[in-house]
Amino acid sequence: MSPWLSKFFGKRGLGDLAGELEGAVRHARLSAMKLRVAENVLRESRKGVVDRLLIQTALTGFPLSSDSMANMYVKSAIDSARKALRKVKFVRDVLERDYPHVYAGVLRGFIEPAITTLESVALLDKISASGLGVKAEEMEGAASMLSEATELLRNTAKLHGE
């Protein structure tokens, strides 16, 4: 069923669900990237005695410390993880309802661990500076699992003629 028709009739095809998973992969990768940026900002600020970012931003009229900048990236990373989690849960629910044989036979092994990883980041309020690298690696792993699930879903859609 085409994506245009699926909006009217409610049933989504496997190709549509693969597109949703691609969006989740983008959000998971974006989250991992933002966590890496926050980690780098904090690492660079710890090198010197003076916070260079604070001085540079103060010269522009909007002083912002390295810790504040890192916290903004962490908050944004958590938001991206929440968006990815929402999309993956939606795909899981539709697969369980409309395509249980595909979900149980092919995709559960990829989607369930990814959901667990996404929840470990999405349900946090803050991430400690020492845990940024670990959480970034976890998000990269979740993105990788979701990317594989997307490919499997696309191949399954081709087999079903969708």
CA gap 125, 71 in Å, rounded:
11
The string of pLDDT tens digits covering residues 28-82 is: 999 999 999 999 888 887 777 667 777 777 778 777 787 888 899 999 999 999 9
Compute the CA torsion angle 129, 135, 140, 143 (nearest 10 deg). Answer: -130
CA gap 101, 97 in Å, rounded:
10
The pLDDT mean for the chain works out to 86
Higher local confidence (pLDDT), 161 or 133: 133
CA gap 29, 141 in Å, rounded:
9
Predicted TM-score (pTM) of this structure: 0.84
Structure tokens at 116: 């667990």
pLDDT interval class at 4 (50, 70, 90): very low
Tell me the chain's radius of gyration from C-alpha atoms.
19
Whether residue 139 contacts residue 31, with contact meaning beta carbons closer than 8 Å, is answered with: yes
The string of pLDDT tens digits covering residues 49-62 is: 667 777 777 778 77
